[in-house]
Amino acid sequence: MLGACPSPAAAVNEPLPSARPAPPARYYWEDFEVGRVREFGRYEVTRAEVLEFAGRFDPQPFHLDDAAAAGSLFGRLAASGWHTAALAMRMMCDGYLLESAALGSPGVEKLSWPAPVYPGDVLSMRNTVLESRPLASRPEVGLVKSRNEVLNQHGQVVLSMEGFGFFRRRHPGGPSR
């Protein structure tokens, strides 16, 4: 499913696709219960994408050159962490955000890349809800704190981030659980 999408870098100076009406929301704030774990996504990282993204956005030698990468801590050509973050965003969109009543995010608190991503790796995601509460100032909106982890084909975490998302409530002003 994700493999058919253009790489994030390919879209940068291209015309934006026509806006499509959003499908009806399937997930609302009430669906993000503390402790809930979702697993989704499958994305095979290609050498061409690693080189393209790095060439445009993170042109450090270990992301662009095999010899330089061999002499680095990575030992071989590795994807930029920012490329991995962009792939995570795509998998989150396809995994649940585009089917949700998402209202954006106030930010990410923690972001780390505990292991490199290499061409040929197959990535997936795990989303764990850590906290969830309605906003006192806007009863129609709830705030969700999640940990999102990108895993490679060996189950090794290659990206971990904790952050927040705003979601419309299905029942504004209703019980907060």
pLDDT number for residue 33: 98
pLDDT number for residue 14: 58
Average pLDDT taken over every residue of the chain: 91
According to DSSP, the residues that pair with 163 across neighbouring strands are 108, 146
How far, in Å, CA of 41 to CA of 38, rounded?
10
CA distances from residue 121 to 10, 101, 124, 130 in whole angstroms, order as listed: 20, 31, 10, 28
Does position 16 have pLDDT exceeding 90, yes or no?
no
122-135 residue pLDDT tens: 999 999 999 999 99
Is there a contact between 81 and 33 (Cβ–Cβ < 8 Å)?
no
26-70 residue pLDDT tens: 999 999 999 999 999 999 999 999 999 999 999 999 999 999 999
- Please report the domains of the chain, with CATH numbers, ordered by start residue: 27-168 (3.10.129.10)
